[in-house]
Structure 1
Amino acid sequence: MPNLLSKYKWILFDADETLFHFDAFSGLKLMFSRFDIDFNTDDFDRYQQVNKPLWVDYQNGVITAAHLQHTRFNEWAHKLSVTPQELNSHFLTAMADICQPLPGARELVDSLIGRVNLGIITNGFTELQSVRLSKTGFEHAFSPVVISEQIGKAKPDIAIFNHAFSLMGEPEKHQVLMVGDNLHSDILGGNKAGIDTCWLNHHGEAVSDDIAPSYQVKTLTELHQLLLQQ
């Protein structure tokens, strides 16, 4: 019996919390330490009160990437007498400094290279993605790397998937699998684009009634086994 991998010619991955850790608190703590500020959990909670609704608006196409990146740092920029743009850039640098692949990511990617085409579709930002791919040695594994900030559309908008498909040479939809940790951007987006989806459900959350992944795993190691087992 052939393994599941033989069904696909392309596997598209999300980046944050799918291939890479995205520990925003640690990144912010590191960034603010460079301003001699001890950033604590209360500070993080206040930051998230601003940041999380901005991400929802960004994914819904209400605001731009630039608006998100700058608005979330307005309060701190005022306190530190710097621009929000500067703080955002410092934050992305700190996130690149602490970046690590998720457990099982390297083994999975190494096992897939040469057997299937690999790409990335991310709602993350350009300044972080390119550095992180280089630092982890993944830059040659993924092509295309489609970044919402560059396209002007974010997952789950079908436009970012269609852009990726054009770069991929318009593959047959049934030969494409999207892997991601976010049910509402990765899985809903993949569903709308007409491709199979695999939800990397780290925390065992309930599946939504109206968003159904083709597959569901808790870890990349489990995905590895799912794809390659006979």
Structure 2
Amino acid sequence: MSEYKTVFLDLDDTVWDFTTNSKIALEEIYRCYSLDRFYPTFDLYYKTYSEKNTELWNLYHHGRMTKEILVTERFRYPLQLVGVDDTELAKRLDKDYLSVLSRLPNLVMGARELLDYLVSKYTLGIISNGFNETQYRKIDASGIGHYFSEIVLSDEIGINKPHPDIFKEALHRMSIEAADAIMIGDNYDADIRGAMHCGIDQIYFNPLSKPIEEEKPTYEVTSLLEVMKIL
């Protein structure tokens, strides 16, 4: 096993429980804006929003979608489906959603235990495609900022995962070579393929055991606590 110096981690749905926190925030927005006028159940609204949001983020990862279009379109789309074409409402929904979302503290199961374990052995860094205005607030709300020596955000440097240059920037900030680092992430495309193409070993956090149709990662786990057996 390589003697790693640094462990890089993705933030959303690797450390910070984006799925749970996002659903809580969206339910508050659904209630506050009386979106039951358009969607009789929250579950229907959540499904419609989430499917479109995933599609838009996949485009954003690869530079085929701007941040400005993403944050408006993901809320405008569900409204348009029910005959409401209101861009200003979509923008207000996004602003209030992000405000609620960034204050929520829930972490992925096992994340704090893993961070406690890792920080005693390695320097830690975050590499995230999230937005500046929310990622730092999420880190503060969940009380995990002290674990990390560097936080590299695509929104700050203008390069998204999986592009190798965001990983190179993280290596540069840590003053290490690719062989000295390993990346932990839940998104095969952004985290695993991106690290792989930069020569960084990877631990694919795959709690749903999604099939891997491309090159196998260096390691794969279904629980964060399994990482302790690897590092």
Measured against the shorter chain, the TM-score band is 0.7 to 0.9
The one-character-per-residue Cα deviations of 1:36-77 (angstroms, maximum 9, x if unpaired) are: 444612112222343222112111111222221122122549
Alignment of structure 1 residues 135-154 onto 2, 5 Å: 135-154=141-160
CA contact (8 A) 1:187 1:211 kept: no
Report the AA paired with residue 104 of structure 2: I
- 1:204 paired residue number: 209
Which of 19, 22, 25 pairs up with 2:23?
25
- 1:217 paired residue number: 221
Do the aligned partners of residues 214 and 146 (structure 1) sit closer, same or farther apart at CA in structure 2, a change above 3 Å counting? same
- 2:9 paired residue number: 13
CA contact (8 A) 1:183 1:211 kept: no
The one-character-per-residue Cα deviations of 1:17-49 (angstroms, maximum 9, x if unpaired) are: 100111233321122223244461211222234
User: If the length of structure 1 is used for normalisation, what is the TM-score?
Assistant: 0.87
- 1:65 paired residue number: 67
Superposition deviation, residue 79 in structure 1 = 6.4
Which of 173, 177, 180 pairs up with 2:182?
177
- What root-mean-square deviation, in Å, do the aligned CA atoms of Structure 1 and Structure 2 show? 2.1
Report the AA paired with residue 32 of structure 2: R
User: If the length of structure 2 is used for normalisation, what is the TM-score?
Assistant: 0.87
CA distance in 2, matches of 1:219, 1:141: 20
CA distance in 1, matches of 2:53, 2:87: 20
- 1:41 paired residue number: 43
Matched, 1:157 2:155: no
Superposition deviation, residue 84 in structure 1 = 3.6
Do the aligned partners of residues 156 and 83 (structure 1) sit closer, same or farther apart at CA in structure 2, a change above 3 Å counting? same
Structure 2, unpaired ranges of 5+: none
Give secondary structure in 2 for the equivalent of 1:193: coil
CA distance in 2, matches of 1:55, 1:81: 19
CA distance in 1, matches of 2:139, 2:146: 8
Superposition deviation, residue 143 in structure 1 = 2.5
Superposition deviation, residue 146 in structure 1 = 1.1
For these two proteins, the number of residue pairs brought into alignment is: 221
CA contact (8 A) 2:130 2:153 kept: yes
Identity, % of aligned positions: 31
Structure 1, unpaired ranges of 5+: none
Give secondary structure in 2 for the equivalent of 1:179: strand
